[in-house]
Amino acid sequence: MDQHNAILSRLLELHPKKIDLSLWRIERLLEEMGHPELRLPPVIHVAGTNGKGSTLAFLRAMLEAAGARVHVYTSPHLLRFNERIRLGAKGCGRLVDDDQLTHALEACERVNGARPITFFEITTAAAFALFAEAPADWLLLETGLGGRFDATNVIARPSATVITSISLDHPEFLGNTIEKIAYEKAGIFKRDAPAILGFQSDVARSVLEREALRAGAPAFVAGEDFHIREENGRLVYEDAGGLLDLPLPRLAGRHQHQNAAGAVATLRILAPQLGVDVIEAGLLGAQWPARLQRLLRGRINELVPPGSEVWLDGGHNEDGGRVLAEAMAEFEEKCQRPLVVLCGAQATKDVRALLRHFAGLAREIVAVPVEGEHRSWSPEDIAAAARAEGMRAAAAASVEAAFALVASRRWENPPRILIAGSLYLAASVLALNGSQIE
């Protein structure tokens, strides 16, 4: 086992709960480490239910196109922990290497000892130590869960905060209403730091605007202070500074237009000197694995019917199901193919709410288990949930068995296969495919 993986395994044992939202443990550790969180480059702090990672991908691509060195912190990872920590460099950053990661984790473990601290808290402290040691122009910081008591919320003076789309997810930690969840996400707002509010429901927007006012954070609101529309195959963005005629984002799906708009709005506020060429380069260059990612190469294309389209997405809640179904409907308008959804989900997710958006759209749902440490829905129960929504469904013992089932069917055209329901499922599919993330 690699040395850093052995340390990560030990760190998982330091707290009886995987998630215990609080700030006092990481604040104590950071103080004993000499406050690396106070030696970071300017921070753009991003929270939300869906779209955080994609928004960070657009921000990173735009800033790097401008020549900036950009640190990035995201979670969870797909194939290896190093993906969570990207160290900035001119032109393009790189994932933290094994030796750097081992050194940072060892330092945190040495300072913390055996005292209780969650895995996310102590690894966030390690990330801050790495970011503090490496010079950069920006740090793009994604919350892990919620905002108010998320370990990343020790940053007292971010340059800006961004809230992407809010919907019901993790109710056991954040509350079972949109109002409660929006309140928790709004906990990252800080006085005088611009708060960019992405496209929201009326309920969520109302809470976010109220909390921004209470925090003294000037709010810039999608649909009010900035707008987007698609026109003649272009993305038209407009705010008080004028109108931009932009290319459609490289990331697939119309929901990415909204994430791109939030990134553009953020940089128009923080770095108004950036030219439209930089924004264009960022829209066309952004990459974010397992977010409507088309698998064009790899082993999976040998397992599905010849000529099939295979799409992978980690969407796992009702709003994720909605935007995925809308994307599949848009694809169907452009090129008709029978749609098959391979779905696996953690037991804590409302899989029926996710799948109901595919009623009348998917030819079949094929349910699969999610491998790993997390308890998942059984394929039989997912199939039953799909049938309860009026869809044809089958259960498979594995992803490979699901592909074999799809390949055994007779299709009038090669199918469009969407794999969704869990980032852990997405990770196992990427591993099966032999994919790499750099």
The ranges assigned to domains in the chain are 3-285, 293-433
Would you say 221 and 209 are in contact if contact means Cβ atoms under 8 Å apart? yes
How many whole angstroms separate alpha carbon 303 and alpha carbon 433? 10
pTM over 0.85: yes
CATH topology of domain 3-285: UDP-N-acetylmuramoyl-L-alanine:D-glutamate ligase (3.40.1190)
CA 151 to each of CA 33, 158, 218, 402, 438: distance values in angstroms, whole numbers, following the listed order: 15, 14, 24, 38, 25
How many whole angstroms separate alpha carbon 32 and alpha carbon 175? 33
Q: Residue 170: how many CB atoms within 10 A of its CB?
A: 17
Would you say 60 and 72 are in contact if contact means Cβ atoms under 8 Å apart? yes
- Model pLDDT, residue 328: 97
- Model pLDDT, residue 129: 98
- Model pLDDT, residue 373: 58
CATH topology of domain 293-433: Protein-Tyrosine Phosphatase; Chain A (3.90.190)
Residue 179 corresponds to which amino acid? Answer: E
From the list 346, 356, 51, 49, the residue with the least C-alpha distance to 178 is 49
From the list 116, 80, 122, the residue with the least C-alpha distance to 104 is 122
The distance from CA 142 to its chain's CA centroid, rounded to whole angstroms, is 9
Residues 6+ apart with CB under 8 A from 282: 58, 59, 60, 61, 62, 63, 64, 65, 263
Burial 195-225 (b: 16+ CB within 10 A, else e): bbbbbbeeebbebbbebbeebebbbbbbeee
Residues 269, 63, 255: CA angle, nearest 5 degrees:
75
- Model pLDDT, residue 170: 72
How many whole angstroms separate alpha carbon 5 and alpha carbon 205? 41
Q: Provide the Cα torsion 110, 113, 114, 119; round to 10°.
A: -60
- Model pLDDT, residue 291: 92
**Could you list the mean pLDDT of each consecutive 10-residue stretch along the chain, which spans 438 residues?**
84 85 95 98 96 97 97 96 96 94 97 95 98 98 94 98 89 83 96 98 97 98 97 96 96 95 98 96 96 94 96 91 95 96 94 95 97 84 97 97 96 97 94 92
Bond preceding residue 171 cis, omega within 30 of 0:
no
